[in-house]
Structure 1
């Protein structure tokens, strides 16, 4: 903690550097994203994420923020107090919240899709536009211990604040890949023995009839349009999730959760029985 007290200027080199890193786009040198709130910052530290700096609201009044400060110091992370006006400028919301600490975290490099385990289960999303859906998909992948989460490059940024907050911390645990050629990635994964299973309301086969016990990619599509024909053609099988009510479709995050649940159910010995 800086001996001179809380930082009071956006021009301070520490604050200016953090804001520059947060403004950098994916692939730019030093690009970072923001983890805000004690629970998120704690998870970033516990996951040993590459944290550039941790900021605390001057006074550190909340118990959970003080606990995070102790944890950050134990991890030898740079910690600084910010005056309220500066703190909420870094948070960049235009209004004040109850948040009392922030971590500026380096965007990780894309997770490699090689050297996958024999029981690999990947969750892939094509053109997922809502950052909150991207975040919940990452959280869902984490809940079912998916090996990777893969998104097409035209999906919402998984390191944007709405996406990161929607992961509730799973962003620090799930290896992510953004692909400029999702179809090409799927072909390469198929060539290496992974089955590609797409979610489609037009399939005749309910998801529990498909064998998901082997290495698999579970593929979900855009919130409105679903999977395009070219990606459906790449699927080894398409899975239908039966609905008995009046809704037209499931939200993409719900569909992904059902697919991942069925995969884990079968691997736990439930293959050959309906859900």
Structure 2
């Protein structure tokens, strides 16, 4: 059973920070930033942990202990890795890096499903942004059906800069979007590559799209104009696995 990812109350949150637990974000009640909460906010900012000011009523709704003292932290259900660790994992297997980049995916079920498929196709890791995206929550862990234990996830401050670094390492960056030049199955998805999947509502952001080497589309013949993000990711991942296997 996956434990709750919420840490409630000033002392528990401070202790979690002292113990260097992986924290995805911290919610603080508006007007509660004093004393120990001010210290917590300072530590969080130093570590790049997002802190959001919310109405106290929001914390009341989220609280399971009903003693949140104006602060709730969301701990990661699993540790994050560095992007370099993902590249090393590929090198250790003697394989070309195969990475999934998720641009602002906010639905935990989608992230969990992507991790599950990434494990199934042998992808070496997943990269997510620190802000405006879901992290490794308990819901993600459950949705991944255990894949969270096997698929390394890197959480980065700047997705665009990370893509530039991957390009320097020789990776091709391939985005999936409705306005892609070619259908995904007409495109070369072999070699060192990272697939970029956009958010559920907005797709890939403009800056990230500009960083892609090329964009592929998934043809849609029905009335619905787009696929769920995790389904789109699965379609592309399996095509990549097929092409890599065929090229060997």
Q: Does 1:220 align with 2:197?
A: yes
C-alpha distance in structure 1 between counterparts of 2:173 and 2:216, whole Å: 10
C-alpha distance in structure 1 between counterparts of 2:179 and 2:76, whole Å: 42
C-alpha distance in structure 2 between counterparts of 1:250 and 1:184, whole Å: 28
- The match for 1:188 is 165
Q: Is contact 1:132–1:162 with CA below 8 Å preserved after alignment?
A: yes
- Alpha-carbon displacement from aligned partner over 1:152-209 (angstroms, at most 9, x marks no partner): 1125443212111111111111011011101100011011100000001011300112
C-alpha distance in structure 1 between counterparts of 2:222 and 2:146, whole Å: 33
Q: Which runs of 5+ in 2 are unaligned?
A: 1-7, 25-63, 67-74
Choose the corresponding residue for 1:111, options 72, 79, 82: 82
Shift of 1:110: 2.0
Query: Structure 2 vs 1, CA of residues 93 and 127 (structure 1 numbering), >3 Å: closer, same or farther?
Result: farther
Alignment of 1:173-252 (within 5 A): 173-252=150-229
- The two structures have a TM-score, normalised by structure 2, of 0.67
- Alpha-carbon displacement from aligned partner over 1:125-152 (angstroms, at most 9, x marks no partner): 0111111111111112111111011111
Q: Is contact 1:32–1:106 with CA below 8 Å preserved after alignment?
A: no
Q: CA RMSD in A?
A: 3.3
- Alpha-carbon displacement from aligned partner over 1:97-137 (angstroms, at most 9, x marks no partner): xxxxxxx9974242332434341100110111111111111
Query: Structure 2 vs 1, CA of residues 132 and 93 (structure 1 numbering), >3 Å: closer, same or farther?
Result: farther
Shift of 1:93: 9.5
Q: Which runs of 5+ in 1 are unaligned?
A: 1-15, 34-91, 95-103
Query: Structure 2 vs 1, CA of residues 109 and 256 (structure 1 numbering), >3 Å: closer, same or farther?
Result: closer
C-alpha distance in structure 2 between counterparts of 1:232 and 1:190, whole Å: 14
Q: Is contact 1:131–1:156 with CA below 8 Å preserved after alignment?
A: no
Shift of 1:31: 4.3
Q: Does 1:165 align with 2:156?
A: no
Q: Is contact 2:174–2:194 with CA below 8 Å preserved after alignment?
A: yes
